[in-house]
Structure 1
C-alpha cells in the first residue's frame, strides 16, 4: 500500500524507518509546511516532497496518510484528508486535543467509508503483550492496583525547538504529550475508569503547560490506579514503567520505554514463565520498536477488513482520561469520566 506522510518533525523519522521494514508498505511522498524540513526528509528517503498536502494527495492518491503534524492540527488535517481525498489515516498521538475533535474524526471516517487509526506503539512491546495476555487469562485473579511512572528528561531546548511545544493550544504538557502512551496502557490493561483526581506543577521549564503531574484513578472494576509523569528527570531519562498487582500475581515492566521485565511472579507458576526475560529488549530511544509492528497490523487490517485495536475510538479513550485529569487539575477535585470537562485547558479555551 502507498503511504504518504504529513509533518516532517521529530517523530517522522521513526515512521519512515518503520515503514521501510514493513512488507507491502511503500512511502511515496512526504510533506511539511517548512520547505527545508520537507526537502531534507524527502531526499533522505528518496521520495518526492511537498509543502502542500492537498497537492501531494491530488497528484499521488495514496492508500494511507500518516499525520505527524503538531498535536493541535491532527484533527483538522485528518478530517480534511478523509473527507476531501478519501484516504485512510494513521494519526500520531494524541488523536486530538479536544474530545469534540476526536468525535468529529471518528464520524468523518465512518461517513467517508475509510479507516482511522491512532498510534499506540507501546501496545506492541513484547513485555506489554505478555502482560495483556496474562490479564486476559485471569492469572492475576482480582486486579488490585495498576501503576504507571514516566520519568523522562527533556531539556529546555526540546521545548524551544518549535513555538507550539508545551502550549495549551497545540500540545499540552507531559500528560498529553509524553505520558499519553502510558495513560493508554493503563486503561487498555485495566479497563474502564470511573474517576480521576490529579495535580500538576511546572517545575523546571519555560512553557505554558505542566512538566510534572500525579493522579489517582478509580477503575470501574474497583481497582486503584496511580499515575506519575514528568519531563524533569535529570540528567537523563530514568524510567517508563507499568506495574500490575493482583490477588494472585505481580508484574512490573520497566526500563525507559516499558521494555524490560523486572518482576514476573504468579501463584500459579507455569513453565513458560521461565522465558519471560527473553521478551525484554534494549530500545534505541523512548519510542521503542513498536511502530513497525503497528504499521504491519494496520496494513493487514486494511487488506482484510478485520477490526484493529488501534481504531479511532481507542484513541478517544486515552484523550478522555487526559481531559479528565486536566479538568481535575483546574478544579482541584475528583472528576468522573463521562461528564463534560469545560475547565480543561488542553486545546485552548473551549467547552466539550
Structure 2
C-alpha cells in the first residue's frame, strides 16, 4: 500500500484525490492518508478516513510515502523541498518552480536523497500525443520545421479575485505560467527541447499585476522553430491549439483531437476520447491525465525505476517559461535553456 498526502485540497488538489480514488477502485494499492486545506474534505472525493492536517504537520507526517504538492505556484519549490527533507517522494503540480534556479535546486536535492520528484505534465500521457512523439522521433513525419501552440482562453475577474496569487506575477499567476504551461511543455517535449527563446508579455484585459497575454519565439535543439501565444483576455475562450509542420506535411490539434492531418505517407493516428478543455473553466479538464500520471508514478515506486516525467523534465519546462519572462523583461532573447 502506497500512502499519499495532498498538500492543498483546492480545485486541483480535488483532481488528485479523485484520480487516486479511481486508481484505488481499479485495484491499485494506494491510500489517501491525509490532506491540508481549510475548505473541501477528502470525503467528498472518496476518502472518508483521510485526516485533515496543517501543512507543516502533513509534510512531517511519517505515515505518508508520497506528497502531492497542490499549493499556490509560488510555494511549489519550497513545499517540494520540505517534503524531500522529510523523506517523501513528491508529485508536484505545475509549475515545479517559478525560476530555473529553484527548479534545479529541487532536482539536485531529490537526486541527492534518492527520491522521486514528478512534476505534473498530464498531457504527455494522452495516447495521441504519445503516438505523435513516437512518429516525430522515428522520422516518419519528415523533418520538423515549425511548431505552434495557441491558448486563447478566458478567465473572469472573479477567477482572479478568488485567489490572490492568480493575479500576481511573482505568484506564478500569469497566462503563460499558469494557463499556457501545459501546451508549452507539450510543444517542447514533442520537438525534443528548446535551446533559446524570445518573448513579450502584456496585461491587456484585466486589472491584475500578472500578464494576461504572452507571445514567444522558440528555437529547438533540432533546429526547428516554434511559436507560443497565451492569453486569458479573449472572450469566451476557445480550446487550445497545437500545430506541427514538417517537410512532408502538417497536423493541427485542438483539445478535441486532430482537426487536420496532412501526411500523405503516414497513416492518421487512431483517436480516442480526449480530456475536456479548460478554455473557460479550469475545473473542466477531467481526471484522466492525472490518473495516467499517478499510475505511472506508482509503478515507478514499486519497480524502483524513474517515472516517465522526472525532475529534469520539470527543470526544462520551467527554464523555457523563465527564459520567456526574462526576455520580455529585458527586451532581448534569452539563451541557454
How far has the Cα of 1:58 moved from its partner? 4.5
How far has the Cα of 1:60 moved from its partner? 5.0
* Matched ranges for 1:276-315 at <5 A: 276=270, 278-281=271-274, 283=276, 285=278, 287-288=285-286, 289-315=288-314
Residue ranges of structure 2 left out of the alignment (5+ in a row): 279-283
| Aligned CA distance change for structure 1 residues 332 and 149 (closer, same or farther; 3 Å) | same
Q: Once the two structures are superposed, what CA deviation does each residue of 1:206-263 show, in whole Å capped at 9, x if it has no partner?
A: 211110111111223221101110111212x3021111111123111113xxx41112
* Matched ranges for 1:1-352 at <5 A: 1-22=2-23, 23-32=28-37, 35=38, 37=39, 40-44=40-44, 45-59=47-61, 61-83=63-85, 85-235=86-236, 237-255=237-255, 259-270=256-267, 273=268, 276=270, 278-281=271-274, 283=276, 285=278, 287-288=285-286, 289-338=288-337
Give the TM-score of the pair, scaled to structure 1: 0.87
| Aligned CA distance change for structure 1 residues 73 and 145 (closer, same or farther; 3 Å) | same
| Aligned CA distance change for structure 1 residues 163 and 172 (closer, same or farther; 3 Å) | closer
Any idea what SS the aligned residue of 1:55 has?
A: helix
Task: Tell me what 1:349 maps to.
Answer: none
Task: Tell me what 2:281 maps to.
Answer: none
How far has the Cα of 1:151 moved from its partner? 1.0
> Residues of 1 paired with 2:69 and 2:190: CA distance?
26
> Residues of 2 paired with 1:145 and 1:284: CA distance?
24
How far has the Cα of 1:56 moved from its partner? 3.2
Any idea what SS the aligned residue of 1:239 has?
A: coil
How far has the Cα of 1:113 moved from its partner? 2.1
Any idea what SS the aligned residue of 2:164 has?
A: coil
Give the TM-score of the pair, scaled to structure 2: 0.91
2:65 and 2:88 in contact (8 A); partners too: yes
Residue ranges of structure 1 left out of the alignment (5+ in a row): 339-352
Bigger drift between 240-249 and 153-162 goes to: 240-249
Any idea what SS the aligned residue of 2:292 has?
A: helix
How far has the Cα of 1:71 moved from its partner? 0.7
2:126 and 2:274 in contact (8 A); partners too: no
> Residues of 2 paired with 1:160 and 1:49: CA distance?
29
| Aligned CA distance change for structure 1 residues 281 and 48 (closer, same or farther; 3 Å) | closer
Any idea what SS the aligned residue of 2:285 has?
A: coil
| Aligned CA distance change for structure 1 residues 334 and 59 (closer, same or farther; 3 Å) | closer
How far has the Cα of 1:57 moved from its partner? 4.8
> Residues of 2 paired with 1:283 and 1:191: CA distance?
26
> Residues of 2 paired with 1:219 and 1:57: CA distance?
38
> Residues of 1 paired with 2:164 and 2:193: CA distance?
35
> Residues of 2 paired with 1:215 and 1:331: CA distance?
14
Q: Once the two structures are superposed, what CA deviation does each residue of 1:287-322 show, in whole Å capped at 9, x if it has no partner?
A: 342111010011101111222231111011010000
Give 4+ residue runs of structure 1 displaced > 6 Å after superposition. none
How far has the Cα of 1:13 moved from its partner? 1.3
1:203 and 1:212 in contact (8 A); partners too: yes
1:140 and 1:245 in contact (8 A); partners too: no
1:261 and 1:279 in contact (8 A); partners too: no
> Residues of 1 paired with 2:60 and 2:328: CA distance?
44
> Residues of 1 paired with 2:274 and 2:195: CA distance?
34
Aligned residues: 324
Bigger drift between 189-198 and 296-305 goes to: 189-198
